[in-house]
Amino acid sequence: MKNLQPNETIINQDRVRQNVREHYGRIAGESGCGCSPTCCTPGAGSADDFARKIGYDTTQTTDVPEGANLGLGCGNPHAIAALKPGQTVLDLGSGAGFDAFLAARAVGAEGKVIGVDMTPEMISRARANAAKTGLANVEFRLGEIENLPVADASVDVILSNCVINLSPDKARVFAESFRVLKPGGRLAISDVVALQPVPKALREDVQLHASCASGSALVSEVETMLREAGFSDIRVTPKPESSAVIQQCFPGKGLEDLFASATIEAVKPLRA
């Protein structure tokens, strides 16, 4: 394949973002969920059922307003976040607000949660959900995770759930994450990673990309991007048990051999 010129790269990245934006805009306008992988695969059950399959407990799925959980995750970042009262938390790709609302309760009234999503329909849905909660410590901002509308060194913990794989410029996402974290701040991310090189035909499948699969980076690539962004204490841990969920979400495609859900953890050093 030829090397892309800078303008071609920008155009291709914009096309990817627009496809993802349209895909999740449609999901935000529906009463059910989308496919990300999600609960929409026939026989998979409700969004809450799917959330419990990927690591949330019943308390978490019932502690948010109806419609906040769209079944769009691939893990539970709260299991590794260890949030504390008073912290400022940023949720990358916050969707309808599921993880942001859980974080808002964890950090308490003295803490703050910022959700960022590039889809206007998702932001509107999240804000409507926020109005139902009475929580004053959570807000949702429209923006791209490659260009975060967040101040430098203002965040203690960054959460994200099955979103960074969608970005056409993951290195930029990690660089922006590093910028907005305070020294000592942490990443606590659930995402899909590639276990082996992804065939070109799958890479070019726009629907598969929007469904959180073919845009995934290799584990080694994620580690390199995090290191180059400046992070330390990097841990990217694929979950072998996620293969059953991937097989269910993409039946007959053999994607469970190519992709896995993983936890991604890293720390911004106290000193450069």
Q: Does any domain span residue 95?
A: yes
114-149 pLDDT, tens digit each: 999 999 999 999 999 999 998 999 999 999 999 999
Angle CA(234)–CA(169)–CA(272) in degrees, nearest 5? 40
User: What CATH number corresponds to the domain at position 10?
Assistant: 3.40.50.150
Q: Count up the domains in the chain and report the number.
A: 1
Residue 128: give the domain boundaries.
Answer: 6-267
Q: Does any domain span residue 272?
A: no
Residues 6+ apart with CB under 8 A from 12: 4, 168
pLDDT of residue 104: 96
**Which positions of the chain have pLDDT values less than 70?**
1-11, 30-45, 272
pLDDT of residue 108: 97
pLDDT of residue 272: 65
Q: Does any domain span residue 1?
A: no
pLDDT of residue 224: 98
| Phi and psi angles of residue 57, each rounded to the nearest 5 degrees, phi first | -100, 170
pLDDT of residue 32: 44
